[in-house]
Amino acid sequence: MNNPQLNTNGELTHLMSIEGLPQAIITQILDTAASFMEVSARDVKKVPLLRGKSVFNLFFENSTRTRTTFEIAAKRLSADVINLDINKSSASKGETLLDTIDNLCAMHANLFVVRHASSGAPYLIAEHLQRIGRDDVHVVNAGDGRHAHPTQGLLDMYTIRHYKKGFTQLRVAIVGDILHSRVARSDIHALTTLGVPEVRAIGPETLLPKHLDKLGVHVFHDMDEGLKDCDVIIMLRLQNERMTGALLPSAGEYFRHYGLTPQKLALAKADAIVMHPGPMNRGVEIHSAVADGPQAVILPQVTFGIAVRMAVMSIVAGN
């Protein structure tokens, strides 16, 4: 089975998932992002790498934050950015996903940034582009169902590398609703590919996917035990709809067992960093004293995210 995100030279042509990415490509993206950090600090925050190219933000699912950071990143690369909120346009008129893609290709799109509620949707688009012979059009997954959110995974790696200077001595805990989280899956693949010796998943059985151990993850149900001696803690957002079924009894009970409080944070290493992909639910998965505390690196994550997305877009469009 060919890895559909690499071209015949083994270069990144689409970014769909961290899974299957060689370590060298992840490192290339992080290094490229580091070089773009300086651009964001300039008065004129632009480089001409994607000048004349059209980037289409195709959001089949609502997201303000991710779309905005992709938009900023594309603009800093001097691309033309077109935002399409599909919920409100074609899909409601019965146009299929691939019809939409064909139409946008006819408008000379160069890169699609895709957010979709169904796992695997970007693969369908990439396969279609290959079928119609459009190797020049690239796809970046901005989150598909529960499957993957690779740019979030990469910006998390950037953040970890920035603060911890490496990966091979770390103990990283991912806490919360891993079952429904595309961020968690991308983080797990990135961390294991980059050689993190111990990746932990902490949560109740109802929020953990089956056979997580097969992905190289150590599962903990007890948060105190799971946080012990960790260098990095990645908190996940708990969506309110998880409380409507039988997954969890209440936000309160969840917070008592899996919310990150200053007391729980104290069990990790003294210099541990706390990350969160946002948006946060204060008092549900994270205590405000931690979210606003000295160990939180949640806002730097957002800043790094722009550089990482610039790196991804410039690399795929350059290949």
Partner 1 sequence: MNIEIKNGRVIDPKNGVDRNTSLFIADGKIAALDDAPAGFVAEQIIDATGCVVCPGLIDLGARLNSIEAELAAAVAGGVTSVVVPPDADPPLDEPELADRLVHRAKEIAKARVLPLGALTLGLKGERLAELAGLKKAGCVAFSQANVPMIDTEALLRAMEYAATFGFAVWLQPQDYWLSRNGIAHEGEVASRLGLAGIPVAAESIAIATIVQLVRETGCRVHLTRLSSADGVALVKAASDEGLPVTCDIGVHHLLLTDNDIGYFNPHARFSPPLRTESDRQALSTAAASGLAAICSDHTPVGADEKLLPFGEAKAGATGLEVLLPLTLKWAEAAGVALPAALARITSAPAEVLGLQRGQLAVGAAADVCVFDPAAIWQLTPEALKSRGKNSPWTGYLLNGKVRKTLVGGRAVYTG
How many CB atoms within 10 Å of residue 262? Answer: 11
Backbone φ and ψ for 201, nearest 5 degrees, come out as -120, 130
The verdict on 194 binding partner 1 (CB under 8 A) reads: no
- Range in contact with partner 1 (rule: CB under 8 A) among 26-34, 111-119, 264-272, 311-319: 111-119
Residue from 211, 241, 244, 270 in contact with partner 1 (CB under 8 A)? 211
Nearer to partner 1, 14 or 161 (CB): 14
Residue from 36, 56, 112, 123 in contact with partner 1 (CB under 8 A)? 123
The verdict on 14 binding partner 1 (CB under 8 A) reads: no
Torsion-angle region of residue 176: left (phi > 0), alpha (psi -120 to 50) or beta?
left
The verdict on 209 binding partner 1 (CB under 8 A) reads: yes
Q: x/- binding map, residues 284-313, to partner 1, per CB under 8 A?
A: ------------------------------
The verdict on 1 binding partner 1 (CB under 8 A) reads: yes
The verdict on 185 binding partner 1 (CB under 8 A) reads: yes
- SS3 at position 50: coil
Cα distance between residue 300 and residue 55, in whole Å = 25
The verdict on 96 binding partner 1 (CB under 8 A) reads: yes
The verdict on 142 binding partner 1 (CB under 8 A) reads: no
Q: Which of 86, 83, 51 is nearest to 70 (CA)?
A: 83
The verdict on 93 binding partner 1 (CB under 8 A) reads: no
Residues composing the chain: 319
Residue from 147, 161, 200, 276 in contact with partner 1 (CB under 8 A)? 147
The verdict on 97 binding partner 1 (CB under 8 A) reads: yes
Cα distance between residue 84 and residue 87, in whole Å = 9
Q: How far is the CB of 118 from partner 1 (least distance, A)?
A: 3
| Exposure string over 159-197, b if 16+ CB within 10 A, otherwise e | bbbbbbeebeebbbbbbbbbbbbbbbbbbbbbbbbbebe
Q: How far is the CB of 4 from partner 1 (least distance, A)?
A: 6
Nearer to partner 1, 130 or 303 (CB): 130
Strands 111-116 and 80-85: unpaired
Nearer to partner 1, 1 or 106 (CB): 1
The verdict on 115 binding partner 1 (CB under 8 A) reads: no
Nearer to partner 1, 146 or 287 (CB): 146
Residue from 6, 72, 91, 215 in contact with partner 1 (CB under 8 A)? 215
Cα distance between residue 94 and residue 86, in whole Å = 11
The Cα-based distances of 134 to 6, 9, 38, 52, 110 in angstroms read 14, 17, 33, 18, 10
Residue 12 is classified by DSSP as B
The verdict on 120 binding partner 1 (CB under 8 A) reads: yes
# binding residues, partner 1 (CB under 8 A): 27
Question: Starting at the edge strand that comes first in sequence, how are the strands of the sheet with 232-235 ordered?
Answer: 218-220, 198-202, 171-175, 232-235, 273-275
Cα distance between residue 20 and residue 4, in whole Å = 10
Question: Binding residues for partner 1, per CB under 8 A?
Answer: 1, 4, 19, 96-98, 116, 118-121, 123-124, 128, 144-148, 182, 185, 209-212, 214-215
